[in-house]
Amino acid sequence: MNQEIIRNFCIIAHVDHGKSTLADRFLELTQTIERRKMREQFLDQMDLEREKGITIKMQPVRMHYNNYILNLIDTPGHADFSYEVSRSLAAVEGAVLLVDATKGIQAQTLAHLREAQKLDLVLVPAVNKIDSPLARTEEVVVEVSKLLQCDPKEVFRISAKEGTNVKELLDSVVAKVPSPKGGYEKRFRALIFDSHFDAFKGVIAFVRVVDGSIKGTDKIFFLGTKAEAFCKEVGYFLPQEASAPVLCAGEIGYVATGVKEPSQVRIGDTISASQGAEPIPGFEVPNPVVFVSLYPQDSDDFDILKDALLKLHLQDPSFTFDLEAKEALGRGFRCGFLGVLHSEIITERVKREFRIEMVISRPSVEFILETQDGKTQSVKTPAEWPEQHLVKAMKEPWAELQIITPPAFLSNTIQLLQGFEAEQKEVQDIGDNKLLLRYFMPLREIVGGLYENLKNATQGMASMDYQFKEFREASLVKLEFLVAGVVEEALSVIVPRDKAYLEGKLIVEKLKELLPKQLFEVALQAVIGGKIIARETIAARRRDVTAPLYGGDVTRKNKLLERQKKGKKEMKEKGKVIIPSRVFLDIFRT
């Protein structure tokens, strides 16, 4: 295979700037997909992606265009899936930087750009949605050219929806993005940038071949895990997997490894023809910042849940999971994620793809505690929080927050952040009627619903990005909730001491609204260290036991009411409230 005709590139942009639509036009232009099979967002293969209108998983595809082979990787735009983008960037030589003409540069535009520049990728800038009545095309073009320090003439003005100037953009990709550099005569080496599991072929590794070539029967070694296997099949993405006789240096494709143990094939590892080969520099797996506990509603589903998490971890190593057990919930897993949306997507995939109903705890962050005996303890879920009198000092994570907003919403944004314990560091005018705000604030506030509140406060015009910076001293307590006298550990949450009452009152009121009525009275209580700070009561559901009576002595009516009262009293002592999983989800969204 002549590497001079290969171009490996991806599309990077903020969420909803038109990446998937542009990928559709590329597929049509190169006739990779037949017109009768074409549909919108073709590379978004998951139902979840189509429902939410966002890309969650990267998707590679091989296209033929004017005697060139183009390997495109469509990437997500949301901050919670930035690891997907970083893996895509490690497999290519260039990227199309896409910016929405109606919104301009956003927070994730800057974040993805920084990653691409670290890898010295060739960037082809384009301003999309020029057909929109709200487009500010030339303003945004100037904004992009200043950001990249290039001539405005080098920025393409396109409409991915209408196909305007898309051919010219693709021609520029072919002209500007360099061909891969690898040794065809060298021993085979390839970087694993993604994977999934197949019941018959084992782990399917998505690879960028750096040196040499591989055939469908070759023996392969995994340098990181020291595992070895005989390759079952190699091929390309069209975008479905299509087998091929050989994969050569510079190409992007897949290797069916035949390995049935997912932990033996790691994303970022090097596949080689020999154990002594030099590993290819991979990419660093980010540390999780949000922790959620997952428990199967049916304890018999524990092994199925474990298998589900193993297979999803194979595709997305940025989330972690460890065994956890609670008396009320049984065995489950404490999972770490890159953000709240990331956790919602993974849990929804477990439900849909593996048909498991779960109890899901409230999202939390990692805290550092110093106990009275001088020991330091990391706490990732409320269940791990020790008795309050045993805690000497505590620290919580703080992050640097970057928000890009129009000046018209500056006061709304500042007012919102004041309620989230934020510290203002800088407000910078970055041109094109946009301000860049830099704040420091507790990470628990960011993952606790800041993004949704920011969108509401700015009518969807602001965007945000954040990075962990340091741990700071804090005054926190564990807030527990009793339902009918029983502690519901899944509802427990770590909150600032001065916000405990308001948080407790809000949750018990929400529980009263969401929980179905029982045949007995149910007490809902918020508790700190055994002290009740807020309470609500769900009245018993009553049946009219006197309805069949149509007269007669009043004592008959009183007798029936007394019997009902006695029965409800007994049920209150013995009854147990089962909280539906949807109630947990609704509570955690508040």
The span from the CA of 45 to the CA of 556, in Å, is 66
The reply to whether 18 sits in an annotated binding site is yes
**Tokens 């849990």 identify what position?**
347
State the CB neighbour count (10 A cutoff) for residue 59. Answer: 25
Cα–Cα–Cα angle for 177, 168, 2, rounded to 5 degrees: 40
Beta bridge partners of 324: 332
The reply to whether 332 sits in an annotated binding site is no
The span from the CA of 135 to the CA of 78, in Å, is 22
The reply to whether 405 sits in an annotated binding site is no
Q: Are 19 and 11 in contact (CB under 8 A)?
A: yes
**Cα–Cα nearest to 264, from 215, 322, 176, 197:** 197
The reply to whether 151 sits in an annotated binding site is no
The reply to whether 80 sits in an annotated binding site is no
What residues contact residue 72 under an 8 Å CB cut-off, 6+ apart? 9, 10, 11, 23, 26, 60, 61, 63
The reply to whether 455 sits in an annotated binding site is no
The reply to whether 371 sits in an annotated binding site is no
The reply to whether 567 sits in an annotated binding site is no
**Cα–Cα nearest to 220, from 241, 205, 235, 238:** 205
**Cα–Cα nearest to 264, from 303, 224, 322:** 224
For 396-414, b/e burial (b = at least 16 CB within 10 A) is: bbbbebbbbbbeebbebbb
**Cα–Cα nearest to 429, from 146, 125, 17:** 146
Q: Are 182 and 209 in contact (CB under 8 A)?
A: yes
Bin 166: left if φ > 0, else alpha if -120 < ψ < 50, else beta. alpha
Alpha helices in 248-322 (DSSP H): 302-315
Alpha helices in 480-551 (DSSP H): 500-514
- What is the DSSP track for 141-177? HHHHHHHHT--GGGSEE-BTTTTBTHHHHHHHHHHHS
Q: State the sign of the Cα–Cα–Cα–Cα dihedral 39, 45, 47, 52.
A: negative
Tell me the two tokens of residue 305: 């849940």
Tell me the two tokens of residue 298: 């049916």
Tell me the two tokens of residue 554: 């009043």
The reply to whether 17 sits in an annotated binding site is yes
The reply to whether 569 sits in an annotated binding site is no
Residue ranges of the binding site:
16-21, 128-131
Binding residues for GTP: 16-21, 128-131
